[in-house]
Structure 1
């Protein structure tokens, strides 16, 4: 079977080609799936897409007309896919339901440590041979309170690191994770968590119910000197509201690996183009804010697992098997 993989990063390409070798012929392209690039898939029964692919109704229609029957997304999240339209068109949709939770949890802590200890500012200074400590003072995290919003696999891994640092653990989720409770986590309502935590980290999926979960009221409920980390999905935070609070001088640090309008920006080189996103442009000017380009998952271990699961999804589709990875199963 011929497979077209959209949005393939340079580091990913050899992993994808090796994983598909001897099973299916795969063609990797750097461009991301969008209304403009969808016609490239004409003639490919199966395509693979990245987390920032545009899989809206019109794109799915173009794919279906071109002969695509199966889409294997290389991510856990699927908020970018119009599943109702996919089902109506008879398209099979699969995702990766699991990969290393440590990749994201560890990166979330890297963001937290970086903003707390002013690592980026310090590095920029020393490159200019400026070795002053002014403005670089951080805080011990030991003994302080962390609030973990979402305590699934990634949230649990994040919590284990927090426990190792000797932090007080607060959690919020629709169900309690016994492993987190065993570590000493106390589950509270969201308002109490936000008001009490010195560091808040988000680990929930983006759903209609969680869109702007951290909005204006939630941000105002947080401590003025709190740290906010988001390595999950950009839409969890109302970015304009966040900018408004930052302009008031609030928050010790904000680490964002995701951004709600990242599609068409992240994973691309925009350095020579005019900045069109005023909100993002304003956000990155705050000295206590660190924005990275959706790289928390990007380890050899996690990407390897994602690629392996994607190949298995294609194999299962070809064999007519249905697994828990299939969001819209093969018609018939």
Structure 2
């Protein structure tokens, strides 16, 4: 198949080009993101390969279908940037990578917790400047703390197991309980009860209409004062302006985000020589108790290898008219 690959970074080329599953596919790499203006680049291609911040709204999908594109291959798990109803009407199947390395994201969530708590990033900067003072770097023991987990799919389950290893009490919320996690000591509860008891809250659920701004002014007010909130899932789960207010009052004691609801024009790009025009993210990164890592959670060797493998496998299934294992279906 001829594939137009959008939003290309150097690591994409490395891992896709070295994949043993590349056979029978020819990839043309484009650095620009996919949107209505750039969709014309896909003319003459059988499919497009896209990432989390590419825009696949109805207009873009119509353009792609009109120039002969037959399949949309997401090289990520999330699909909130795709108008699935429009894709269905246009007979454009959408495939994704539902699980590549759940441990990579789960471990990154733990890294955010430990960094914020023990302030290793601040200690590192002090020492590099010759300042060995430990004033105002006090942390807390994770042992015996209550960890709240929203979403216990593969990533959430991996995170739960890690936190149990720290000796934490783990509370979880999901529309469907995982019996194996219950057997290991995870307790499922209501959202309200989870908010009330949690010392550290970690989000691992998809972004759908029901979860958009799940963390908002009302739910923040239900949490323990000084709660730590970690988001390695999707930026839209958190009402960022409400989080800023929570940080200002101290209701939120720590905020660690690997994702941001307006990240499309910021993340995966170097803005070091520019003035950032997004006042919300500028305010966020001004807080000493906020850590933003720019969608780094998935970024491990194992995850990149698996993303390339599954994406190319999805395309092979389509080419060979095999039922699509990882097709995204319209919600019922």
Q: TM-score by structure 1 length?
A: 0.95
Q: In structure 2, the residue corresponding to 1:293 is in which secondary structure? A: coil
Q: Report if the CA contact (8 A) 1:145-1:167 is conserved.
A: yes
Which residue matches 2:10? 10
Equivalent positions of 1:195-274 (< 5 A) are 195-274=196-275
Q: Distance in 1 between matches of 2:328 and 2:249?
A: 43
Give how far 1:95 is off: 0.9
Q: In structure 2, the residue corresponding to 1:131 is in which secondary structure? A: coil
Q: Report if the CA contact (8 A) 1:94-1:328 is conserved.
A: no
Q: Report if the CA contact (8 A) 1:215-1:238 is conserved.
A: yes
Q: Distance in 2 between matches of 1:222 and 1:25?
A: 51
CA 1:21 to 1:172, structure 2 compared with 1: closer, same or farther past 3 Å?
Answer: closer
Q: Distance in 1 between matches of 2:261 and 2:248?
A: 19
Kindly report structure 1 stretches of 4+ aligned residues shifted beyond 6 Å: none
Q: Distance in 1 between matches of 2:250 and 2:238?
A: 18
Which residue matches 2:103? 102
Higher mean C-alpha displacement, 57-66 vs 287-296: 57-66
Unaligned runs of 5+ in 1: none
Which residue matches 1:88? 89
Give how far 1:12 is off: 2.2
Q: Distance in 2 between matches of 1:246 and 1:59?
A: 38
Which residue matches 1:66? 67
Which residue matches 2:282? 281
Give how far 1:270 is off: 2.1
Give how far 1:328 is off: 5.8
Q: Distance in 2 between matches of 1:171 and 1:318?
A: 40
Q: Distance in 2 between matches of 1:249 and 1:98?
A: 36
Give how far 1:122 is off: 1.2
Higher mean C-alpha displacement, 60-69 vs 193-202: 60-69
Q: In structure 2, the residue corresponding to 1:255 is in which secondary structure? A: strand
After superposition, give the CA deviation of every residue in 1:263-317 in whole Å (9 maximum; x if it has no partner): 1211112222332211111111110000011111111111111111110111111
Q: In structure 2, the residue corresponding to 1:112 is in which secondary structure? A: helix
Q: Distance in 1 between matches of 2:178 and 2:22?
A: 39
Q: Distance in 2 between matches of 1:149 and 1:92?
A: 29
After superposition, give the CA deviation of every residue in 1:44-92 in whole Å (9 maximum; x if it has no partner): 1111001111101111122122221111110111010001111222222
Q: Distance in 2 between matches of 1:7 and 1:114?
A: 30
Q: Distance in 1 between matches of 2:319 and 2:40?
A: 23
Which residue matches 1:147? 148
After superposition, give the CA deviation of every residue in 1:3-52 in whole Å (9 maximum; x if it has no partner): 11111221221111122543211112222212232221121111100111
Q: In structure 2, the residue corresponding to 1:259 is in which secondary structure? A: coil
Higher mean C-alpha displacement, 195-204 vs 9-18: 9-18
Q: In structure 1, the residue corresponding to 2:116 is in which secondary structure? A: helix
Give how far 1:139 is off: 0.2
After superposition, give the CA deviation of every residue in 1:241-271 in whole Å (9 maximum; x if it has no partner): 0011111133331110001111121111222
Q: Distance in 2 between matches of 1:134 and 1:259?
A: 31
Q: Report if the CA contact (8 A) 1:86-1:328 is conserved.
A: no
Unaligned runs of 5+ in 2: none
Q: In structure 1, the residue corresponding to 2:209 is in which secondary structure? A: coil
Q: Report if the CA contact (8 A) 2:314-2:325 is conserved.
A: no
Higher mean C-alpha displacement, 243-252 vs 96-105: 243-252
Indicate whether 1:178 and 2:179 are aligned.
yes
Q: Distance in 1 between matches of 2:204 and 2:128?
A: 34
Aligned Cα root-mean-square deviation (Å):
1.4
Q: In structure 2, the residue corresponding to 1:201 is in which secondary structure? A: strand
Q: Distance in 2 between matches of 1:190 and 1:237?
A: 15
Q: Report if the CA contact (8 A) 1:202-1:231 is conserved.
A: yes
